[in-house]
Amino acid sequence: MTTLQRAVVYDCDVERAGQVAAVLKILELEPLLIDHSALMRAVIQSPTSPPALLVGDVGDSLDWRELGAALREQLGDVPVVAYGSAEAAEQLAAAVGHSRVIRLPFPFRHQALAKALHVPSQAALEEAGDVVMPTGNSPAICDVGRLIRQVAAHDSSVLILGESGTGKELAARAIHDASPRRQRPFVAINCGAIPAELLESELFGHEKGSFTGAIAARKGRFEIAEGGTLFLDEIGDMSLPMQVKLLRVLQERIFERVGNHAPIRCNVRIIAATHRNLEDSIARGNFREDLFYRLNVFPIEMPALRERIEDLPLLIRDFSNRNVTEGRSRIELTGRAMEALNRHPWPGNVRELGNLIERLSILCPNRKVDIADLPPKYRPAGVVEDLLSREDEEALQVATLPEEEESAVLDEFAIDDRAALDMLTEVTSHEMLAELPAGGLDLRDHLFEIERSLIRQALSRAGGTVAHAARLLKLRRTTLVEKLRKFEMLNEAAATEV
């Protein structure tokens, strides 16, 4: 196969087209974002086959019959990828031939897109090392992927910076897997998790009897990683005496086992990582400046999850797939739950997200996860109230539409509780029989009081049992619980039930 130089992107969703272009740049392809007329010129007027074609959603302006005829004549074996809606993908397949169209879900997995576009291993970083790159299509994580590819082929020391949980070790492994050292060991050690008096033995090894408890000779991490990569995690927590010894090894590429003065030559690549600001540590006297410059040859900064929140859906999908592989259930989040997670600050970053998805896969097996299923810290009162009040506003808008338009709006706003909508519509219609006061009224407050009154009556009639009250109101139990929280009636409901 020959290396592709360009890839045409045709999508009426401009923002998504830009994200597709970012992924193509990672694969070292030149993205061309064009409209219908430009596409037709590229296909009809070009004497040779067009470049790879990626089609999203194209609106109503495209003449599929005209395009299909042109593409069938010109395409040859050019890759055609459909990543938009199922309807657009079917139209494209019917126009150019089903066997020529590859359907991929968006956001893309880099490996899947590289395979579809026949990108060779050097650009896709697949064949030789089976590289697992940090997940995401955001500009910040795309920059990280670009830096990983640039430095992988060289033996330069790399310093990976970023908050805890951002995936620094994953980036280090990607550098190793994409490097010529991929066939040799990748050895990781957490410098902050090992007592200072034992770290020297862990790194350089020791001889039998060299200290109390040394009942046998042991290789250190430098020897184990020979020819490969040594990842020094949390290097900022290393003691100053140990920093001096590490600096000597990095300069001379020679070390000694504890209890033995025979020099051992080493050939390892060093990748270090820390969540600390090492320049501040240098100013405080906690980190050696000469070691910092020795390590900081090629810095890579991992972005916090809150800085690339657009990657959240793809990360959730990856974690969900991993849970399935490990024998747990697959989960899917409702729109409200996803929006609540979008508003979370994620102090624990990607690690925190992975732990949450694993927890939800155990608590909510094989069903949609709604906002009420999230742990309390992910649904603070202000967020829940805002989401639910917005849902009520949307329900009121639906209630005023003609019947034939109602289903379309329901889909648009993802209102999945039709019974709740029916109840609100009925209440609204009933209240319209009353005369509007001369001075007007606050409609939101008025409807708020009506809904709270009906919920209180349902609880009373159900003897305080929330599940029975939900049936009377034709609501889901979780929906009613959220409304009770919104109206600050949870304590009242509990007291009634007792």
What does each of the 498 residues of the chain score in pLDDT, given as a tens digit? 344 567 888 888 887 888 888 788 777 788 888 765 566 555 545 544 556 788 887 766 555 666 666 666 555 567 788 888 887 788 777 777 776 788 888 877 767 787 777 765 444 444 444 678 899 989 999 999 999 999 998 999 999 999 999 999 999 999 999 998 988 999 999 998 888 888 999 999 988 888 877 788 888 999 999 999 999 999 999 999 999 999 999 999 999 998 888 899 999 999 999 999 999 999 999 999 999 999 999 999 999 999 999 999 999 999 998 888 888 888 889 888 999 999 999 999 999 999 999 999 999 887 889 888 999 899 876 666 666 555 544 443 433 344 444 444 334 333 344 444 444 444 444 444 456 777 777 777 788 888 888 888 888 888 778 888 888 888 887 788 878 877 777 666 555 544
Q: Give strand pairing partners of 73.
A: none
Q: Would you state the pLDDT for residue 165?
A: 94
Give the C-alpha separation, 46 to 40, whole Å. Answer: 9
Q: Would you state the pLDDT for residue 72?
A: 61
Contact 423, 476 (CB under 8 A): no
Range list of β-strands (E), 307-445: 332-333, 368-369
Q: Would you state the pLDDT for residue 465?
A: 81
Q: Would you state the pLDDT for residue 462?
A: 82
218-219 and 205-206 strand pairing: antiparallel
Q: How far is CA 245 from CA 23, 160, 267, in A?
A: 42, 21, 17
Q: How far is CA 75 from CA 95, 97, 98, 205, 474, in A?
A: 12, 11, 13, 61, 55
Q: Would you state the pLDDT for residue 429?
A: 45
Q: Give strand pairing partners of 52.
A: 7
**Phi and psi, residue 60, nearest 5°:** -105, 5
- Name 238's Cβ contacts closer than 8 Å, sequence gap at least 6: 191, 192, 196, 199, 232, 246
Which of 268, 275, 304 has the alpha carbon at shortest distance from 192?
275
Give the C-alpha separation, 498 to 343, whole Å. Answer: 36
Query: Would the CA dihedral through 85, 87, 90, 91 be positive or negative?
Result: negative
Q: Indicate yes or no: pTM above 0.85.
A: no
Measure CA of the first residue to CA of the last residue in the chain; give whole Å: 73
Contact 461, 472 (CB under 8 A): yes
Give the C-alpha separation, 304 to 165, whole Å. Answer: 8
Task: Write out the DSSP string of 177-241.
Answer: HTSTTTTS-EEEEETTTS-HHHHHHHHHEE-TTSSTT--S-EE-HHHHTTTSEEEEETGGGS-HH
**Phi and psi, residue 308, nearest 5°:** -140, 50
Which of 355, 362, 275 has the alpha carbon at shortest distance from 315?
355
The count of other CB atoms within 10 Å of the CB of residue 134 is 22
Give the C-alpha separation, 155 to 173, whole Å. Answer: 14
What structural domains and CATH numbers belong to the chain?
6-121 (3.40.50.2300), 139-301 (3.40.50.300), 305-379 (1.10.8.60), 382-497 (no CATH)
Cis peptide before 345 (omega within 30 of 0): no
Q: Would you state the pLDDT for residue 52?
A: 77
